[in-house]
Structure 1
């Protein structure tokens, strides 16, 4: 079986989706292809998200937000949205999940840590589910 592709989408592609993509790459290695994008990408990844991930040994400092494209959604087997609502294109046959998570934008490190930890929990469950389906 070919490896599945997961696309994480949030509005700015600067916090939640970047953390989720990094955790998926960290946990799954090359077993799962990882993409992330935003409907209105920011200029840079949220520095507080970078700091929160560095605390757990995952470096996202060099990542850049990317714009969400129809091609990325078509490529994905699983599309995980995090607050992009109706701005995320829908294609039949894709698995969609909507993860309701607080936005780390404008929050301090103490507020971002629980968001990071919840993202890690959900990504760990997603990896286990995708590994079972192989």
Structure 2
């Protein structure tokens, strides 16, 4: 059995994660130059790292979906973490990550915001069959 020290595992992890982060930074610089203006590489890298962590916490792991979230966060009016209906669309249970990110993006640009209807029922409990 081979034992790999924690430091080496971290170095391997960093090396594997670096190419995507670097691609994401290059993408932001190329496609969102307005957002990047006035931000140095450290600031942009910090942003990319925080969005990657945010995405992973929501179970969004595919590079294309994470990159989409990174790009969406560079748009004007985006707040972190997203709340209300748009936040719901990103965290909605029962949908795969690609559908959630697509629904989230659509909700961000929707001309009309949906009407919130309150039911006197715990829908999550009903989904779990706790009610």
Higher helix share: 2
Q: TM-score, normalized by length of structure 1?
A: 0.26
**Greater RCO structure (CA 8 Å; 6+ sep):** 1
Q: TM-score, normalized by length of structure 2?
A: 0.26
Larger radius of gyration: 2
